[in-house]
């Protein structure tokens, strides 16, 4: 991919920035083989249900086993997949800036698998379960049968993900919003920017005066707000940004 894709001003800002925030979505995991939710105009459907129906608080109230079946399927796909160049590049960025914040909507754990630390998982993780009563967390390990009930209080376990219609975990969005309001450079990578409150993070950064840059093969509702739009795949574009 030609290196003149990146403007001189972005190269300069990247070289000088002290406080950088990155928001990622399903697009950064696409090159690892993780299906995105929306792409090519259609929305992911599971057993006839659009993903934002099976991944909803309503569905969990009505049929927790069905919700578990959906996330067991998601883990079965993820088990053999590895982080890609996009994930690996962002893991390197953490050591490049005095203050680097990685916020993700992804529940796949691939940022952590790439070596990123302190990732703010806005929507949780498919690799954790949580007790519906005492909120005790349990790690879900591949090849090990996952628990159905809490060992402490015996109540049901549910996927530790944020479902549609559910509030984000206390403090998680607030932490991301605080960092967004304080960053100088904000990258929005691989998200259709349709799900809130996650999509408001770059809006907060922009309103606070940050330079906002989008990386996506397609335009999104956020593109017009961005100072720079880099049209391409994260795995191709991110290494170009670092190369100065
Ligand atoms: C809440 C976990 C309070 C589960 C997820 C304001 C306006 C309108 C609606 C609302 C609003 N506020 C709240 C709502 C309701 C709702 C919402 O936003 N609905 C949307 C659909 C309109 N939000 C909520 O319910 C949130 N909770 O607000 O609580 C409340 C409570 C009650 C009532 C009201 C308010 C909770 C939302 C979290 C839900 N859980 N995930 C699971 O994973 O199954 S959301 C899930 O979907 C993901 O985490 C992610 O956030 C979203 C998918 O979006 P993306 O990640 O962007 O993926 P997508 O496929 O769409 O796009 C991929 C992009 O990548 C594309 O642009 C593509 O071009 C690009 N791409 C492809 N390949 C590449 C690439 N980019 C780079 N490189 C590539 N190679």
Q: At what angle do helices 8-16 and 234-242 cross, to 10 degrees?
A: 70
User: Residue whose CA is closest, atom 13 of ligand 1?
Assistant: 196
Q: Average pLDDT over the chain, rounded to whole?
A: 95
User: Residue whose CA is closest, atom 19 of ligand 1?
Assistant: 195
Nearest to 208 by CA among 178, 175, 182, 176: 182
Among 22, 26, 174, say which to mutate for ligand 1: greatest number of ligand atoms within 8 Å of CB. 26
148 Cα: distance to centroid of ligand 1 (angstroms): 27
195 Cα: distance to centroid of ligand 1 (angstroms): 3
100 Cα: distance to centroid of ligand 1 (angstroms): 23
In whole angstroms, give the CA distance from residue 56 to residue 52: 6
> Residue written as tokens 């993700």?
104
| Catalytic-labelled residue, pool 11, 87, 111, 123 | 123
Ligand 1 in reach of 30 Cβ (< 6 A): yes
Coil, strand or helix: which one is 152?
coil
Residue 89's pLDDT is what?
Answer: 98
Residue 43's pLDDT is what?
Answer: 72
Ligand 1 in reach of 198 Cβ (< 6 A): yes
Residue 4's pLDDT is what?
Answer: 76
Beta partners for 190? Answer: none
Give catalytic status of residue 87 as yes or no: no
Residue 209's pLDDT is what?
Answer: 98
Among 24, 25, 193, 201, say which to mutate for ligand 1: greatest number of ligand atoms within 8 Å of CB. 25
39 Cα: distance to centroid of ligand 1 (angstroms): 13
Closest atom of ligand 1 to CA, residue 55: 44
Q: Which two tokens stand for residue 236?
A: 């191709």
Q: Which two tokens stand for residue 99?
A: 């203050």
164 Cα: distance to centroid of ligand 1 (angstroms): 9
Ligand 1 in reach of 181 Cβ (< 6 A): no
Where does residue 52 rank: exposed (0-12), middle (13-18), buried (19+ CB within 10 A)?
Answer: middle
In whole angstroms, give the CA distance from residue 19 to residue 24: 17
Which segments in the chain show pLDDT lower than 50? none
């Amino acid at each position: 991919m030609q290196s003149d894709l990146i403007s001189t001003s972005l190269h300069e800002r990247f070289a000088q920035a002290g406080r950088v925030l990155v928001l990622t979505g399903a697009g950064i995991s696409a090159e690892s083989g993780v299906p995105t939710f929306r792409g090519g105009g259609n929305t992911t459907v599971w057993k006839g249900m659009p993903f934002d129906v099976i991944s909803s608080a309503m569905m969990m109230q009505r049929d927790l086993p069905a919700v578990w079946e959906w996330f067991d399927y998601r883990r079965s796909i993820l088990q053999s997949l590895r982080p890609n160049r996009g994930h690996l590049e962002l893991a390197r960025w953490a050591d490049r800036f005095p203050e680097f914040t990685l916020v993700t909507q992804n529940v796949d754990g691939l940022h952590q698998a790439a070596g990123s630390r302190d990732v703010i998982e806005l929507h949780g993780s498919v690799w954790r379960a949580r007790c519906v009563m005492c909120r005790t967390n349990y790690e879900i390990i591949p090849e090990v049968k996952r628990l159905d009930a809490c060992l402490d209080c015996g109540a049901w376990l549910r996927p530790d993900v944020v479902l549609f219609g559910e509030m984000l975990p206390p403090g998680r969005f607030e932490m991301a919003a605080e960092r967004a309001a304080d960053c100088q450079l904000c990258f929005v990578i691989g998200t259709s920017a349709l799900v809130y409150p996650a999509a408001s993070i770059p809006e907060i950064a922009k309103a606070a005066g940050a330079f906002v840059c989008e990386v996506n093969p397609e335009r999104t509702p956020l593109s017009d707000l961005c100072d720079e739009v880099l049209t391409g795949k994260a795995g191709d574009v991110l290494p170009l940004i670092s190369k100065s």
